[in-house]
Amino acid sequence: MHACGIVEDLTIRHVRWDLLPPDTLGVHGRSAVTSKPLTGRIVAVTGGAQGIGKEIATHLAATGARVAIGDRDRDGARTTAAAIGGTTVGFDLDVSSRESFAAFLNAVEQEWGPVDVLVNNAGVMWVGPFDEEPEAAQRRQFDVNLHGVINGVKLAAPAMRSRGHGHIVTIASAASKLAPPGESTYAATKHAVYGYLTGVRAELRGSGVELSVIMPGVVDTELAKGTATGSAKLLQPQDVAKAVVSVIQKPRFEVTLPSYVDPALRLVNVLPRLARDFVMRQMIPNQIEATAGSSERADYESRVIASDKQGRNT
């Protein structure tokens, strides 16, 4: 059997799922938390004009939530909000700017009231050899993927704590715990997000404010165009959107997609180093090889670099 197949087989058939904490079980894991209805709740989604964010906003609106879509593409955010319908509004937002993020949350509060749930979804990725990565791409990934999350948490969580309730859901990545070749900086930002949220969660314990981090594998979006999925299946934006709705209704800290990824990693990590490295090479895609000689990502990545330059000239 293929090495990654062995890990998956061990995970799915032989793990005592009932003995694992709910946080490790992924979106299909059990939770003793009472389901919280979403009808009428105010949810802000960053990076919601397209891709995963658009799908999250669509699913949330379908539950009866009031959804605020924030995006650098203000016209795109408004167009998406109009297409979704219901109580959905589009706003201008650059998550890398604390001032812009504060203005976004204030605008939502003026529209409906304080935000009940913040979904940190905005993200960017550059793929290629570490020593060929443009500095602008490096900076933009940290500005959006990490500083954008920190800005959101620092602005939203204190107000939620003062009210005694609230929820911040962050779309991270399987790269929060893995580091595929070709995604070194991206993985660094996602590792940092996971560490940051773990610390903040400990500080907020008992406050009534929930934190959740969703860690999907490769999702079929422009961000992941041209990359490989490794041993896991290619996910669709609606898979992540369903996980968001589920974790808001039944809060837990960690959600992995597919759900067997985290338990599989736990099993692999008990192996000796040589065996662990071998299995990980079978499981984790080499994105340098996957994208070599292809121009499929050129347009997207040129916009990532351009957005960094634009942000630093305004």
Residue 230 confidence (pLDDT): 82
Categorize the per-residue pLDDT at 56 as very low, low, confident or very high, splitting at 50, 70 and 90.
very high
Average pLDDT over residues 235-241: 97
Residue type, 127: V
Residue 28 confidence (pLDDT): 35
Token pair 């992540």 is found at 240
Categorize the per-residue pLDDT at 271 as very low, low, confident or very high, splitting at 50, 70 and 90.
confident
Residue type, 84: I
Percent helix, percent strand, percent coil in the chain, to nearest 5: 55, 15, 35
Contacts of 282 (CB under 8 A, 6+ apart): 2, 3, 4, 231
Whether residue 114 has pLDDT greater than 50: yes
Helix 273-283 vs helix 3-14: crossing angle, to nearest 10: 90
Three-class SS state of 139: helix
Segment among 20-24, 81-85, 108-112, 293-297 with least mean pLDDT: 20-24
Please give the Cα distance from 287 to 181 (Å, whole number): 6
Residue 309 confidence (pLDDT): 59
Side-chain half-sphere of 101: how many Cα atoms within 13 Å? 23
Q: What is the pLDDT of residues 243-263, one digit of tens each?
A: 999 999 999 999 999 888 878
- Report the length, in residues, of the chain: 314
Average pLDDT over residues 179-187: 95
Class of residue 21 by CB neighbours under 10 A (exposed 0-12, middle 13-18, buried 19+): exposed
Q: Which two three-digit tokens encode residue 18?
A: 């009932």
Backbone φ/ψ region at 34: left (φ over 0), alpha (ψ -120 to 50), beta: beta
Whether residue 27 has pLDDT greater than 50: no
Would strands 117-120 and 42-46 be described as parallel, antiparallel, or unpaired?
A: parallel
**The three-state (H, E, C) secondary structure of 15-26, written as one string:** CCHHHCCHHHCC
Q: Are 166 and 157 in contact (CB under 8 A)?
A: yes
Residue 310 confidence (pLDDT): 59
Categorize the per-residue pLDDT at 16 as very low, low, confident or very high, splitting at 50, 70 and 90.
very low
Residues involved in catalysis = 186
In whole angstroms, how far apart are CA 11 and each of 260, 267, 302? 7, 8, 40
Find residue 67's DSSP bridge partners: 43, 88
Categorize the per-residue pLDDT at 34 as very low, low, confident or very high, splitting at 50, 70 and 90.
low
Q: Are 100 and 91 in contact (CB under 8 A)?
A: no
Q: What is the pLDDT of residues 145-167, one digit of tens each?
A: 999 999 999 999 999 999 999 99
Q: Could you tell me the domains of the chain?
A: 33-252+284-312 (3.40.50.720)
Please give the Cα distance from 210 to 70 (Å, whole number): 21
Average pLDDT over residues 113-127: 97
Whether residue 1 has pLDDT greater than 70: no
